[in-house]
């Protein structure tokens, strides 16, 4: 089968989520008896990203769709450009990483192809059958597609990122059509941090409402995260209260993470939050309420006042 995997990037570098989508794509190709996997890099002046994609394991080729219309990833023009590639190449499967971009683009493409989209795939059962979480991850559904073209978003924590191949496949560069101006980019406010990216960090230090304020969130969690080389996360309650920015939210409707170590500080453990972190390898919970639901999933629970325990932990590491 012919497959497209849509790269996640910022026009400068390839986001690691792309590697997990390629991994999911390879499993589908293997299950279908073989085929070609092309990575699509849609952006503006994104040759460096295309070159990085060309060096990924399991990739047959790279299609670089380049032009001002695609600079900010606006869905209308970008999906039209993808649709042209799907039609021109007799593509049978399109795989997106389940990032906010992937979630924004995939269903739009699927509808234009008159096929279903399958969101947040966590396992490839066979070439048409997939597992995905529903009800905030409390149930795993197995669904089988009857469509001629698969459109999928792959959960980034569920697939092992592909490595570099050590060689480079060829890159086809295609100029994008002029912007249609149905939507326009106005601006962005991206969180700047020297810490690892939350979605792919090996250690996550995450805080809940019990921290009490944005000042305490930073005062207690940042030194601990610095000591551990960790990314910072937060519960919905902490984000709603303004302790942390929206892109720190871990949970059913925020980011899904599966680090080696997840430290939940002052969090009750609502099911919507657990949906975003329960696949972490080791979970630590620090909470003064011994009955908090977070302790039901924690490998190590410390019932303590976080305002004493967290500084002590930071000091002793």
Partner 1 sequence: MKVLVTVKRVVDYNVKVRVKPDGSDVDIANVKMSMNPFDEIAVEEAVRLKEKGVATEIVVITCGTVASQDVLRTAFAMGADRGILVESAEALQPLAVAKVLKAVFDKEQPQLVIMGKQAIDDDSNQTGQMFAALAGLPQATFASKLDINGGSAQVTREVDGGLQTIAVTLPAVVTTDLRLNEPRYVTLPNIMKAKKKEIETIPAAGLGLNLVPRLRLVKVADPPGRSAGVKVDSVDVLIDKLKNEAKVI
Binding residues for partner 1 restricted to 232-261, rule: CB under 8 A: 236, 239-240, 245-247, 252-253, 255, 260-261
Contact at 8 Å (CB) between 119 and 113? no
299 binds partner 1 (CB under 8 A): yes
Does position 138 interact with partner 1 (CB under 8 A)? The reply is yes
Distance (Å, rounded) from C-alpha 231 to C-alpha 225? 6
Give whichever of 134 and 172 is closer to partner 1, judged by the CB atom. 134
Footprint of partner 1 on residues 164-203 (CB under 8 A)? 181-191, 199, 203
Residues 32-91 close enough to bind partner 1 by CB under 8 A: 72, 74-76, 79
**C-beta separation of 267 from 210 below 8 A:** yes
Q: Pick from 134, 163, 172, 178: which binds partner 1 (CB under 8 A)?
A: 134
Is 222 near partner 1 (CB under 8 A)?
A: no
The residue among 281, 258, 261 whose CA lies nearest residue 159 is 258
Return the closest-CA partner of residue 159 out of 299, 43, 16: 16
Of 44, 174, 214, 302, the one binding partner 1 by CB under 8 A: 302
Which residue's CB is nearer to partner 1, number 136 or number 174?
A: 136
CA distance 22 to 28: 10
SS3 of residue 306 by DSSP: helix
With CB under 8 A as the contact rule, the residue among 109, 220, 231, 257 that binds partner 1 is 109
Spatial CB neighbours of 301, under 8 Å, sequence gap ≥ 6: 284, 285, 286, 287, 294, 295
In the complex with partner 1, the residue whose CB is nearer, 61 or 218, is 218
Stretch that binds partner 1, among 46-54, 85-93, 137-145, 211-219 (CB under 8 A): 137-145
Instruction: By CB under 8 A, tell whether 31 contacts partner 1.
Output: no
Q: CA distances (Å), 237 to each of 18, 160, 246, 307, in order? A: 30, 31, 11, 18
* Measured distance CA(108)–CA(41) in Å, rounded: 18
Given the rule CB under 8 A, which of 20-28, 38-46, 58-66, 271-279 is the region that contacts partner 1? 271-279
């Amino acid at each position: 089968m012919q497959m497209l995997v849509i790269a996640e990037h910022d026009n400068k570098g390839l986001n690691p989520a792309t590697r997990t989508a390629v991994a999911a794509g390879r499993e589908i190709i293997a299950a279908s008896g073989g085929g070609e996997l092309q990575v699509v890099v849609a952006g503006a002046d994104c040759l460096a990203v295309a070159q990085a994609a060309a060096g990924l394991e399991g990739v047959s080729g790279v299609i670089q769709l380049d032009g001002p219309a695609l600079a900010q990833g606006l869905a209308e023009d970008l999906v039209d450009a993808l649709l042209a590639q799907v039609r021109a190449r007799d593509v049978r499967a399109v795989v997106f990483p389940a990032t906010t971009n992937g979630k924004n683009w995939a269903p739009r493409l699927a509808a234009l192809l008159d096929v279903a989209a399958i969101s947040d795939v966590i396992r490839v059962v066979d070439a048409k059958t997939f597992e995905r979480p529903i009800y905030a991850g409390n149930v795993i559904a197995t669904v089988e597609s009857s469509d001629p073209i698969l459109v999928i978003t792959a959960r980034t924590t569920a697939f092992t990122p592909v490595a570099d191949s050590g060689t480079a496949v060829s890159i086809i560069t295609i100029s994008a059509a002029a912007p249609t101006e149905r939507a326009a980019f106005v601006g962005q406010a991206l969180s700047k941090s020297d810490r690892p990216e939350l979605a792919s960090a090996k250690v996550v230090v995450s805080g809940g409402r019990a921290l009490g304020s944005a000042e305490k969130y930073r005062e207690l969690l940042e030194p601990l995260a610095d000591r551990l080389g960790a990314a910072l996360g937060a519960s919905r309650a902490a984000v709603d209260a303004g302790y942390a920015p929206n892109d720190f939210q871990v949970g059913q409707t925020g980011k899904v993470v599966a680090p080696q170590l997840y430290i939940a500080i002052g969090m009750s453990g609502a099911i919507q939050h657990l949906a975003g972190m329960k696949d972490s390898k080791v979970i630590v919970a620090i909470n003064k309420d011994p009955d908090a639901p977070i302790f039901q999933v924690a490998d190590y629970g410390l019932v303590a006042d976080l305002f004493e325990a967290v500084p002590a932990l930071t000091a002793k590491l």
